[in-house]
Amino acid sequence: MRAFVAIEVDAPIRRALAGLIEELNRPSQPVKWVTPENIHLTLKFLGDVPQERVSEAIQIVRDCAQGIGPFSLAIQGTGAFPSTQQPRVIFAGAQDERNAAHELAGRLEERMEALGIEREDRPFQCHLTLGRLREPRALPALAAKMAAASARDFGKMTVTQITLIESTLTPQGPIYRPVEQMAL
């Protein structure tokens, strides 16, 4: 099972980000935009988890959620990796005053090694991916639109759970299915 652990985003925030995607989208751009129902904040990408180890992965996620408690997450601004001038990943920023998302990501990073899941080679960045390009390239019109939205507020939500999600890749895009939700 191809899977990841994520914070699912409230409907009002998804609608606000769908509006942003509409503003940023141009038919001539080589950007593959995330469908609004698939917008989420990834805490840890697991990759392929053998079916016989899924229950173990669920327990690890449950253990990592213990003691964190609900927290507030503000979705603000836009950005891109590696840069807005040469984007490969276009995102909306996410801030949490308690750094609970970072704490969860760190716990998951450490504990998932028991399943043979490799550690990320870059530090956790709290963000919601909106679009991807196959390779970084200059898109001046997109960069200008992103700069105009760089301080925009897309909403605030209270995070009360994290979810282990199965991702099935299809030619039309990924299909996500919640496997297990763990309360904070």
Q: Nearest Cα to 132, choosing from 182, 89, 84, 92?
A: 89
Q: What CA–CA distance (Å, rounded) separates 80 from 89?
A: 5
Of 17, 31, 34, 40, catalytic: 40
Q: What CA–CA distance (Å, rounded) separates 37 from 160?
A: 19
Report which residue type is found at 96.
Answer: D
Of 14, 44, 107, 127, catalytic: 127
| DSSP annotation of 113 | G
Report which residue type is found at 152.
Answer: R
Q: Is 127 an active-site residue?
A: yes
Q: What CA–CA distance (Å, rounded) separates 153 from 75?
A: 6
Q: Which DSSP helix (H) or strand (E) runs through 149?
A: none
For 31, 57, 78, 103, the CA distances from 138, given in Å and listed in that order, are 12, 40, 16, 34
Total H helices, total E strands in the chain: 4, 9
The size of the chain, in residues, is 184
As to burial, measured by CB atoms within 10 angstroms (0-12 exposed, 13-18 middle, 19+ buried), residue 53 is: middle
Catalogue the active-site residues.
40, 127
